[in-house]
Each structure stands twice: as C-alpha cells, then as structure tokens.
C-alpha cells in the first residue's frame, strides 16, 4: 500500500534545520520542529501502548494548547481518528458525542475530570486522560515515559483521519468523516493557491476544534515549515503586537471587526503582512472596505465547511485575478483547483447571476456522516455531488457569492426571499451596525420576513423609518414586516449568527 499518512506529508514540509522555531506561544514557550516531531512521537507511542482497535477515535475536550495540536499529530501518526470537541460543551452535549462516536480515548481538562471520567466510564470509554493549559495532567505524564521516535503507521488515502461534528444549529450534530486524502489534497492546494512562502509566519489565533484553525491554518504552516505565533485565545492587542513579525493571519469575520476597533491597527502595523484570510461566516462588505482603508490590505475571503474543507477562495496573486474582482469584495472567490462546484435548481445547472443550490465534487469531499448512512445518502445527488446546503450565484467571471443557507431561505406569500440580500440593504441604512433577517410563522404569508438589527453606537433606530426606507430599495415582499432592535446577535464560537436561535426567540411574534 502506498503510504498516505497525512503526518508523513506534513513532516515532509518541516524545514531542514529542525532546531528552528516552529511555535512560539503567548506564554513565551518556544517549540522547535524537533520538539514537534519528538513530542508527537511520544504521544503516538502512548496511544499505541493502549492496545486500541484499528479506527479507534481519540476524543479531545480541552482548551486550545500546543499539546492538543501535538496530540492531533500523534493520532494521525498512529493511524487513529481524531475527534476535537469544543471545550465549552457541557455534560448533555458531551454525552451525545461520546454515545455517538464511542471513542476509545477521551482527553479532558483537569478541572472537568470528575464529571467527564464518570460519564466516560459509564459509557465504556476505557482511557480517560487530562490535559491542562499549563501542560499539566496525566496525558503528558504518561507520554513522558515513552520513546521519542515513531514510524508513522501507513495509511491509505481513504482512511479516516478525523471526525468533525458540524456546529448543528438545527437537529442533531453530525460527525463529518474526513480522510487523510481529503485533508492532504486541500492542504496542498491551499499551499500553492495562497502562495505560501519560505519566510511566512502565521499568527494562529483560531480555536483548534474546527476546520479553520485545525486544518486550514495549522496544516498551512506545518506543510510549509512556517513558524506559528500561537495565541491560546484571540485577543486583538496580542494580534497587533505580533503583526510586525508576521506575514499571514486567518480569522473569522468577528475577529476583523474587533481588530478594527483598535486604534493601533494602521498601515504601518501591517507593513510586513502578506495575507489576511477570512472565512467560516459571511464577511460584511463594510468590514472588507474598512480594512482596505485602514491597512491598505485586501482581506482574502474563502469559503468552506467541515464536510469539504475549503471549496473556493479569492486569489491572492494579481496574475490569478486579472479583473481584480477580489479587490472589490462581496464574493468568496472561485472554486479551488481540483474542486468542482455547480449552482443548481433541481436538475438544472444555472447560468451566471441565477441563484441556486451550491453542490461540490472533489478529492476534498468527505466520506459521509459517522454512522448516518441514510443522512449521508440524502446529502449527495444521484450523480455524486455533495449538497452543501448553501445557496449562491456565480458571476460571469466564475466568482461565487453565498446568499445564505437553504434552511434560512424565507418563503413569504409564495415568494423566495434570500436573507443576505435584505441584510445587505439594511446594513447600508444609517445607524445600522449589522442585521439578521429571519422567517417567522405568519397566518397570512406562511412565513413573514423579520429583521433583527443592532444599532451603531450613539444611533437611535426607528422601525417605521427603516421599513419606509427599505421600501424604496427593494420589492415590497422582501421588506421586513417587523424590525426588532437588539443589543447583540446570538453567535457560535466561529462567529456564525445562530439564526435557528433567533427564529425560536421570535417564533410567536405574529401569533
């Protein structure tokens, strides 16, 4: 069997001189490439010493730490399946994931050991370790006794590497099964499309239980042998301090909004930077423009999901973007090399400008949902394309714009309303900071369009005036029946607005 172990490929990207800096943490620790290789070997030896069955899941419910990343690499090396879980999950959530994934190993924060160990042992998980933010806990104690060399276990490209549970804003969270081949193909594509260079330095400020921080950001730096300036948590000042030493930053839109609130964000502070990447949620055009104005840099927006890793990206090299569309904003770019994307209405491929369902095919597309063959079958078309659940349109240059999730589509009096379009107009109204448009049950219309808006600081919004103003810009059926002023929008850890929560909150508005 040809070896496709992802760790082997990442290891091949490490620099020649293994004593160079690989990761510098916000607590002042420095890890060399040799440290990464040795520590992940010790952890891999520990996993193998546990006599786990092939394909065993290693579930990790800890705060972000370099050691958690090393455990991920160790799991790849040893040929097991990594399962990262947001440390914010509490008992009921963890019970669901443990029941569903049946991990053989569960690693938790030392402070959670009492309740997590009980829950795990009740469910037959034999190995429970702890890993704290200060490199404390039983996992590292046990690994310290292990040899620091490990030959990566050969893997086929289709062998499972990780399971990522989707954020699950509606219904049960599903485990997306990603293979060594899925992850490696995407990492290689991004390395060349984003033009990773030998002198690149990444600021790593994202969580590592999600595709963005664990795969896009960490794989990028590891495969390119580039150092990471590692922040356990996002802190705008800490990012600013590191900008002069860095060249690449990746964030969700909220991180860009928070950085823009810092007076220290200037052209000068960003003068060494090469690439600012945004994704995981829609980037407001206002943020995109404000960033260009303040820093002179264009945020590169890309689009992806747990099931497919990255799908599209704006180009970062001028030669890839002769029309300079990436500099104007409002799109998530073109399908990445090797990724096929189509916009469909039922059985029909749509022309540029027409809005429909975004579907994908490619080496990056996952193998299916963990133990949900029925659900998996439903999410693929008969001819093998994965239905992303996103709705979008291509422009005539092949750039995609995401209009929303198909679940968020509003059908009011028989007309389709795409929330993103209405939000775009609302956000341009004076005094509106941002908005979320949702469907609320309505006796006459079936669903009524409702907007929840956040006021700009110092502004006073008037519902009737906003509605009157919108009527001048868009068709009457798209204009919200009600505009509710709120102090904040509910978001998940990746900055995505939780529309299901908003719909639930305002369900009885017209009852």
Interface ranges with ligand AMP (CB under 6 A): 166-167, 211, 279-282, 301, 303-306, 332, 388-390, 402, 405, 494
Q: Which is nearer to ligand AMP, 139 or 305 (CB)?
A: 305
Q: Which is nearer to ligand AMP, 364 or 388 (CB)?
A: 388
Q: Which is nearer to ligand AMP, 281 or 367 (CB)?
A: 281
Shortest spacing between CB 124 and ligand AMP, in angstroms: 29
Q: Which is nearer to ligand AMP, 186 or 388 (CB)?
A: 388
Q: Which is nearer to ligand AMP, 33 or 209 (CB)?
A: 209
Distance from C-alpha of 75 to C-alpha of 63, rounded to nearest angstrom:
18
What is the token pair recorded at 267? Answer: 């052209």
Shortest spacing between CB 333 and ligand AMP, in angstroms: 9
Distance from C-alpha of 293 to C-alpha of 285, rounded to nearest angstrom:
12
Shortest spacing between CB 36 and ligand AMP, in angstroms: 26
Shortest spacing between CB 304 and ligand AMP, in angstroms: 6
Shortest spacing between CB 504 and ligand AMP, in angstroms: 19
Distance from C-alpha of 44 to C-alpha of 7, rounded to nearest angstrom:
11
What is the DSSP code string of 28-45?
Answer: S-EEEHHHHHHHHHHHHH
Q: Which is nearer to ligand AMP, 13 or 304 (CB)?
A: 304
Distance from C-alpha of 255 to C-alpha of 253, rounded to nearest angstrom:
5
Q: In 355-495, which ranges are continuous DSSP H helix?
A: 373-379, 419-427, 463-471
Q: How many residues make up the chain in this entry?
A: 511
Distance from C-alpha of 12 to C-alpha of 24, rounded to nearest angstrom:
21
Would you give the distance in Å from CA 197 to the centre of its chain? 23
Shortest spacing between CB 306 and ligand AMP, in angstroms: 3
Shortest spacing between CB 390 and ligand AMP, in angstroms: 5
Question: 305-337 burial, b for 16+ CB within 10 Å, e for fewer?
Answer: bbbbbbbbbbbbeeeebeeebbeebebbbbbbe
Shortest spacing between CB 407 and ligand AMP, in angstroms: 10
What is the DSSP code string of 158-219?
Answer: TSEEEEEE---SSSS--EEEEEHHHHHHHHHHHHHHTT--TT--EEE-S-SSSIIIIIIIHH
Q: In angstroms, what is the C-alpha Rg of the chain?
A: 23
Distance from C-alpha of 285 to C-alpha of 426, rounded to nearest angstrom:
12
Q: Which is nearer to ligand AMP, 260 or 281 (CB)?
A: 281
Q: Which is nearer to ligand AMP, 130 or 182 (CB)?
A: 182
Q: Which is nearer to ligand AMP, 5 or 401 (CB)?
A: 401
β-bridge pairing 340-345 and 356-361: antiparallel
Q: Where are the beta strands (DSSP E) in 19-153?
A: 21-25, 30-32, 57-61, 81-84, 105-108, 127-130
Shortest spacing between CB 205 and ligand AMP, in angstroms: 17
């Amino acid at each position: 069997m040809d070896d496709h172990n992802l760790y082997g490929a990442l290891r091949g990207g490490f620099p020649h001189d293994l004593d160079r800096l690989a990761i510098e943490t916000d607590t002042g620790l420095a890890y060399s490439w040799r440290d990464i290789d040795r520590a992940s070997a010790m952890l891999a030896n520990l996993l193998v010493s546990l006599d786990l069955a092939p394909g065993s899941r290693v579930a990790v419910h800890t705060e972000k730490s370099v050691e958690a990343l090393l455990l991920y690499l160790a799991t790849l090396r040893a040929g097991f399946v990594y399962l990262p879980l947001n440390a914010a999950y509490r008992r009921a959530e963890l019970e669901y994931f443990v029941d569903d994934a049946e991990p053989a190993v569960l690693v938790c924060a030392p402070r959670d050991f009492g309740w997590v160990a009980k829950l795990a042992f009740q469910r037959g998980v034999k190995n429970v370790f702890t890993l704290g933010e200060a490199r404390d806990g039983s996992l590292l104690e046990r690994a310290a006794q292990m040899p620091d060399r490990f030959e990566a276990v050969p893997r086929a490209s289709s062998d499972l590497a990780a399971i990522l549970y989707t954020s699950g804003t509606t219904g049960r969270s599903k485990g997306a099964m990603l293979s060594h081949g899925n992850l490696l193909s995407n990492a290689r594509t991004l390395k060349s499309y984003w033009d990773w260079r030998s002198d690149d330095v990444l600021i790593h400020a994202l969580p590592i239980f999600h595709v963005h921080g664990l795969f896009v950001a960490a794989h990028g730096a590891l495969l390119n042998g580039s150092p990471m300036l590692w922040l356990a948590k996002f802190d705008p000042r800490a990012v600013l301090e590191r900008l002069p030493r860095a060249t690449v930053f990746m964030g969700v839109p909220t991180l860009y909004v928070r950085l823009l609130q810092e007076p220290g964000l200037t052209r000068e502070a960003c003068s060494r930077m090469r690439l600012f990447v945004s994704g995981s949620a829609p980037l407001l055009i206002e943020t995109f423009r404000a960033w260009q104005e303040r820093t002179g840099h264009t945020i590169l927006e890309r689009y992806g999901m747990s099931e497919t890793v990255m799908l599209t990206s704006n180009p970062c090299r001028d030669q890839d973007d002769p029309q300079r569309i990436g500099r104007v904003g409002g799109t998530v770019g073109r399908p990445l090399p090797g990724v096929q994307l189509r916009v469909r209405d039922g059985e029909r491929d749509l022309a540029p400008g027409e809005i429909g369902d975004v579907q994908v095919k490619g080496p990056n597309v996952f193998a299916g949902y963990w133990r949900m063959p029925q659900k998996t079958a439903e999410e693929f078309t008969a001819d093998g394309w994965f239905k992303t659940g996103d709705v979008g349109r291509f422009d005539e240059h092949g750039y995609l714009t995401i209009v929303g999730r198909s679940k968020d589509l509003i059908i009011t009096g028989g007309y389709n309303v795409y929330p993103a379009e209405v939000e775009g107009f609302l956000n341009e109204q004076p005094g509106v900071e941002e908005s979320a448009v949702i469907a609320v049950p309505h006796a006459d219309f079936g669903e009524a369009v409702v907007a929840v808006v956040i006021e700009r600081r110092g502004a006073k919004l008037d519902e009737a005036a906003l509605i009157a103003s919108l009527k001048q810009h868009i068709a009457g059926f798209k204009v919200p029946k009600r505009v509710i002023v709120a102090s904040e929008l509910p978001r998940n850890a990746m900055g995505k607005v939780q529309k299901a929560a908003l719909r639930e909150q305002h369900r009885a508005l017209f009852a």
